[in-house]
Amino acid sequence: MSDSSFIFKHLSDLLAYLELPMDEKYDLTPSFLLQVPLHYAQKIEKNNPLDPLLLQILPLLEEKKQKSGFTKDPVGDINATQEPGILQKYNSRALVISTCACSLHCRFCFRKHFNYESTEALPNRLDRWLGSHPDVHEIIFSGGDPLFTSPSFFKKLTDSVLKHETVKTIRFHSRLPVTDPDRLEPLLPILKTIPLKKNAILVSHVNHAKELDEKSSALYKTLREARFTLLNQSVLLRGINDTVKALVDLSYKLFSQGVLPYYLHQLDKAEGTSHFEVPDSQAIHLLENIRIELPGYLVPRLVREIANEKSKTPLC
Ligand code: SF4
């Protein structure tokens, strides 16, 4: 496999590449399609069905199970929608669904059932909406992955925010630094100009130390030098990062790449993700133990997002 832009879309190809046999628990026809860039697949240990990166991307028949409390809109996105693609949950901040696309499909995704609309008209809509909402001081670009988009659309979208004096901070939530960092390169010239005009924050989504590599390190360095604040949020996932060692290793590795751990999220209860759930009692126990191992600045806040609440809810 030499084409670095290659993306696995068929389970049989991915299993062959990873030297893994087919298993009857895998789902060959998932409704949330398999999508794995080669860059991410290269970090998965071959012939290891329990690799923590593999478990994040492998479609299982378990996803078809219904479990009480697991819904299609786990964090109240529908109720928070102000206009198509513009959501407001918390005071002074608004969230923009920049795109439906992601480089990697995470099986535990909280927006796997989200009804994405076309984003073509989003820059004008956002510009107009911000004009009538001067109390909004921070724009959070989310998705999908807001950095997995074309430079021309990205420029239009960010320009529609940069022109508003009332917006002081622009934040991007992205998994691209660890899933397919080369795809982010064309956006760098635009990204680098943002901290010259506003506070700029990148919140990566990294769940395991093995996801971080030389490429993520180089990318973070570039963004740090451009004066981005770099934070990370993780999701606590059963069998993937639900040990003291995994979480401690992740915090240290993030710090070695200039990124501070910010949130450790309890799983958002999206339909078809219950097999990833870690009970609250276990999550709190883990946090208490990593607090013993780590300096305070490397301990993420353990939180849950509860639909229609006015902030994230700390669990301990
Ligand atoms: S990168 Fe984020 S939005 Fe995209 S599939 Fe993963 S969790 Fe969902």
Which domains are present in the chain? Answer: 7-64 (no CATH), 77-314 (3.20.20.70)
Give dist(CA 174, CA 193) in Å, integer: 18
* Pocket perturbation via mutation, ligand 1, pick of 7, 36, 106 by most ligand atoms within 8 A of CB: 106
287-300 mean pLDDT? 98
- Report how far Cα 13 is from the mean position of its chain's Cα atoms: 25
* pLDDT, position 115: 87
Helix (H, G, I), strand (E, B) or coil at 278: coil
* pLDDT, position 303: 98
Q: Is the pTM of this model over 0.85?
A: yes
Burial of 116 (0-12, 13-18, 19+ CB in 10 A): middle
Give dist(CA 227, CA 108) in Å, integer: 32
Report whether pLDDT(2) > 70.
no
Question: Which is the closest atom of ligand 1 to the Cα of 105?
Answer: 5
Pairing relationship of beta strands 260-265 and 229-235 according to DSSP bridges: parallel
Give dist(CA 234, CA 241) in Å, integer: 9
Report whether pLDDT(152) > 80.
yes
Burial of 50 (0-12, 13-18, 19+ CB in 10 A): exposed
Cα(62) to ligand 1 centroid in Å equals 19
pLDDT above 70 covers a percentage of the chain that reads 99
Average pLDDT, the chain: 97
* pLDDT, position 1: 67
End-to-end CA distance of the chain: 46
Question: Which is the closest atom of ligand 1 to the Cα of 142?
Answer: 3
Q: Which residue is listed with tokens 């529609």?
A: 160
